[in-house]
Amino acid sequence: MKIMLKKYKSDNKAGTTDYFLKIISIVLFFLFTTEGYSNKTSYDIIVAQDGSGDFTSLTDAVESLPMYNYERVVILIKTGIYNEKIRLETDYITLVGEHPDSVVIQFSQLREDWIKTPDNIGPAVINIHGDDIILKNLTIINTQPETDKHAFTIYGNGTRTILLNCRVISRGGDTVSLWNYKEGMYYHAGCYFEGAVDFVCPRGWCYIRDSEFYEVKETATIWHAAPVNRDQKFVLENCRFDGVQGFMLGRHHYDAQFFLLHCNFSKTLVDKPIWRVTYPDEPEKNRPYLYGDRYYYYQCSREGGNFNWFGDNVDTWPGKILPEQINARWTFDGKWDPENKKKQEVNGFKIEGKNLILYFNELVGIRGNVVLKTSTGKRITYSMGRGRDILTFTSDQLLSIDDFTQNSCELISGEIYAVTASVNERNCSNFLNLGKCYKEQ
Q: Tens digit of pLDDT for each residue in 279-332?
A: 999 999 999 999 999 999 999 999 999 999 999 999 999 999 999 999 999 999
Report the candidate in 322, 306, 303, 315 with the shortest Cα–Cα distance to residue 261. Answer: 322
What 3-state DSSP class applies to 306? coil
CA distance 419 to 92: 7
Q: Which amino acid is at 290?
A: L
Residue 439: pLDDT over 60: no
**pLDDT value for 10:** 37
Size of the chain, expressed as the number of residues it contains:
441
Q: What angle do CA 216, 165, 246 make, to 5 degrees?
A: 20
Contact status, residue 346 vs residue 358, Cβ threshold 8 Å:
yes
What 3-state DSSP class applies to 310? helix
Of the pLDDT bands very low, low, confident and very high (cuts 50, 70, 90), residue 157 is very high
* CB neighbourhood size of 125 (10 A): 28
Contact status, residue 328 vs residue 337, Cβ threshold 8 Å:
yes
Q: For residue 373, what are the β-bridge partners? A: 379, 410
- In eight-state DSSP terms, residue 225 is B
Contact status, residue 229 vs residue 332, Cβ threshold 8 Å:
no
* CB neighbourhood size of 226 (10 A): 24
CA distance 149 to 173: 6
Q: Could you read off the pLDDT of 230-285 as tens digits, one per residue?
A: 999 999 999 999 999 999 999 999 999 999 999 999 999 999 999 999 999 999 99
The mean per-residue pLDDT over the stretch 21-28 comes to 44
- In eight-state DSSP terms, residue 401 is G
Of the pLDDT bands very low, low, confident and very high (cuts 50, 70, 90), residue 420 is very high
CA distance 138 to 189: 13
Higher-confidence residue of 10 and 169: namely 169
Least confident of 144-148, 381-385, 436-440: 436-440
CA distance 77 to 98: 6
Report CA-CA distances (Å) from 125 to 218, 366, 412: 25, 31, 42
CA distance 207 to 118: 31
Q: Do domains 1-196 and 344-437 have the same CATH topology?
A: no
Beta strands, E only, 339-397:
344-352, 355-360, 364-374, 379-384, 390-394
- 204's CB contacts (< 8 A; 6+ apart) are 159, 178, 180, 181, 182, 183, 184, 185, 186, 225, 226, 229, 232
Report CA-CA distances (Å) from 311 to 211, 262, 263: 21, 11, 11
1-196 CATH, one of 3.90.1150.10, 1.10.10.10, 3.40.50.300, 2.160.20.10: 2.160.20.10
Describe the crossing of helices 2-11 and 16-33 by its angle, rounded to 10 degrees: 160
The mean per-residue pLDDT over the stretch 160-173 comes to 98
CATH assignment, 344-437 = 2.60.40
Enumerate helices (H) and strands (E) in the chain, giving the number of each. Answer: 5, 33
What 3-state DSSP class applies to 438? strand
CA distance 157 to 250: 22
Contact status, residue 338 vs residue 210, Cβ threshold 8 Å:
no
Q: Could you read off the pLDDT of 185-205 as tens digits, one per residue?
A: 999 999 999 999 999 999 999
Segments making up each domain of the chain, as ranges: 1-196, 219-339, 344-437
Higher-confidence residue of 380 and 34: namely 380
Q: Could you read off the pLDDT of 96-129 as tens digits, one per residue?
A: 999 999 999 999 999 999 999 999 999 999 999 9
**pLDDT value for 328:** 98
Contact status, residue 145 vs residue 168, Cβ threshold 8 Å:
no
- In eight-state DSSP terms, residue 342 is P
The mean per-residue pLDDT over the stretch 214-239 comes to 97
Report the candidate in 132, 101, 118 with the shortest Cα–Cα distance to residue 27. Answer: 101
Residue 59: pLDDT over 90: yes
Burial of 183 (0-12, 13-18, 19+ CB in 10 A): middle
**pLDDT value for 437:** 55
CA distance 198 to 224: 9
Q: pTM of this prediction?
A: 0.89
CA distance 251 to 201: 10
- In eight-state DSSP terms, residue 18 is H
Q: Could you read off the pLDDT of 402-414 as tens digits, one per residue?
A: 888 765 688 889 9
The mean per-residue pLDDT over the stretch 143-171 comes to 97
Contact status, residue 209 vs residue 189, Cβ threshold 8 Å:
yes
CA distance 386 to 428: 13
Average pLDDT, the chain: 89
**pLDDT value for 409:** 80
**pLDDT value for 194:** 98
**pLDDT value for 432:** 52
Least confident of 39-48, 172-181, 306-315: 39-48
